[in-house]
Amino acid sequence: MVIVKLLYADSDGVLYEDPELGAAAWTGAETVPFPEQEAVPLPPGSDLVLLPERAPVGWAAGRPVKDVRRLQGGGKLFAVAAVLPAGFTRTLLPAYRVYGRPPDLGLFGYTAVGARNGEFFAAAVHTDEEYRWNPLLYNDLTLPRRIKAKRRQFPKNRLVEHLAHCACAYHCLTAQNIFYARWEAGLPVSPACNADCLGCISRPPSGWCPPAGCCPAPQERIGFVPTVAEVVELGTSHLQDGVEPIISFGQGCEGEPLLQAQLLVAAVRGIRKATGRGTINLNTNGGDPAALAALGEAGLDSVRISLISAREETYLAYHRPRGFNLADVRRSLAAARARGVFVSLNLLVLPGLTDREEEVKALLELLQSEKVHMVQLRNLSADPYRLLTNLPPARGGILGVGHLIARLREIPGLRVGNFTIGSPKRY
């Protein structure tokens, strides 16, 4: 049994394990003791982050302790959270109280964390095993040389320059895979979007910024539309020569790829004319069923549609779509499946929302009625308190993220994980 203690930091980022207070966590509705059954050793590749202007909250004698003792000298204490690597789904949020009116937290998936005898623990479930996304396999000393080689191979391709910037400035793994010639590689095509999601990681959503200021987007969106030739030559090269290759449209550094549907249809046809190897994947909001159907007929192998909720009220409040709604998304799921495309749901998981009874019920109905093949769990990256206060008032009891995952795994034929999978027949 793991008794997790409160973890906090001083203003210099030095970490402290409280000798007396237990760790606390936030369900999205109330503060609770850090649950021993959900404590997993902090996974390799995780980050511990200080939460600015947010004081730690501990647990003792059956209640939360908000007035945690200060360090000798009277310095402020700050709450700490974990940011988990892909393959782990958080179950609880960090508990804290605010100092004054703090700025929004940056766009990361904040997870409750604690410590015991110098070892860190996170409130999470291990939901997928995939060596390809191990951070140790990226950012090695060969990357600059590989980028130079790709530039020589495609000297006039603007996508190469864009992805080189993403690989070096943002350490984007799907950008780096283009240069490593392996696994899933992103090919962005669209500077624009037809939604204004509250957790957009390439452009701060309109009307989001509070008086204290708005967190910046962690990466820059592509500023041009590539030509069909640029997409075809780079995509074909990756699929022909790469190790277990996947190319994905709709990565984090772009808007909505289906706004460039005509380009994508031509590019997919061109790539498939050149090679039948590898997997062509699309990440999308699914707002254009006709465009998705055309892509399926052109040779698209898989699609991943992002969704925070299967309830219209919550869906509209978060995604804020322009010109489409949840019914269009359902039609997109059906259109892709009817054309033999492997259909995944990119489920944006937020404790206190996704694990509520009414949300779980609606999600299970959608998955079964639309015959979705896979659910990819994603820890929603945003300030959790800010996000929850901008969504419709919660209704229904909290079942827990672990309960949600268990219910998903009960659906016959549904795959539950975190990663886009390729088509073995095409390797």
Rounded to 5 degrees, what angle do the CA atoms 87, 238, 159 make? 95
Domain interval for residue 339 = 131-426
Kindly report the pTM of this predicted structure: 0.93
The answer to whether 418 touches 376, Cβ cutoff 8 Å, is yes
CATH of the domain at 377: 3.20.20.70
Domain boundary among 126, 151, 167: 126
The pLDDT of residue 423 is 63
Residues 6+ apart with CB under 8 A from 410: none
Domain boundary among 93, 126, 159: 126
Q: What is the pLDDT of residues 42-55, one digit of tens each?
A: 998 899 999 999 99
Query: Average pLDDT of 19-24?
Result: 94
Domain boundary among 83, 106, 126: 126
Q: In the chain, pLDDT over 70 holds for what percent of residues?
A: 93
Query: Average pLDDT of 66-91?
Result: 85
Query: pLDDT confidence of 69, banded at 50, 70, 90?
Result: confident
The answer to whether 197 touches 318, Cβ cutoff 8 Å, is yes
84 has pLDDT over 60: yes
Measured CA to CA, the distance from residue 379 to residue 84 in angstroms comes to 9
The pLDDT of residue 1 is 44
The pLDDT of residue 211 is 43
Q: What is the 3-state secondary structure (H, E, C) of 306-329?
A: EECCCCHHHHHHHHCECCCCHHHH
Backbone phi and psi for residue 69, each to the nearest 5 degrees, phi listed first: -60, 145
> 145-167: string of b/e by CB count within 10 Å (b at 16+)?
ebbeebeeeeeebbbbebbbbbb
The pLDDT of residue 72 is 53
The answer to whether 90 touches 35, Cβ cutoff 8 Å, is no
Query: Average pLDDT of 216-235?
Result: 89
**Whether 89 and 142 share a structural domain:** no
How, if at all, do strands 39-41 and 96-98 pair? unpaired
Query: Average pLDDT of 63-80?
Result: 80
User: What is the torsion angle, in degrees rounded to the nearest 10, for the CA atoms of residue 244, residue 410, residue 332 and residue 220?
Assistant: -60
Query: Average pLDDT of 376-404?
Result: 93
The answer to whether 387 touches 198, Cβ cutoff 8 Å, is yes
Q: Which helix (H) or strand (E) holds 104?
A: none
The pLDDT of residue 205 is 62
Residues 6+ apart with CB under 8 A from 209: 104
**Whether 351 and 380 share a structural domain:** yes
**Whether 230 and 284 share a structural domain:** yes
How many distinct structural domains can be found in the chain?
2
The answer to whether 320 touches 198, Cβ cutoff 8 Å, is yes
**Whether 171 and 248 share a structural domain:** yes
Query: Among the listed ranges 32-41, 56-65, 102-111, 207-216, which one has the minimum average pLDDT value?
Result: 207-216
Mean pLDDT score of the chain, rounded to an integer?
92
Q: What is the pLDDT of residues 394-408, one digit of tens each?
A: 788 999 999 999 999
**Whether 102 and 136 share a structural domain:** no
Query: Average pLDDT of 133-147?
Result: 92
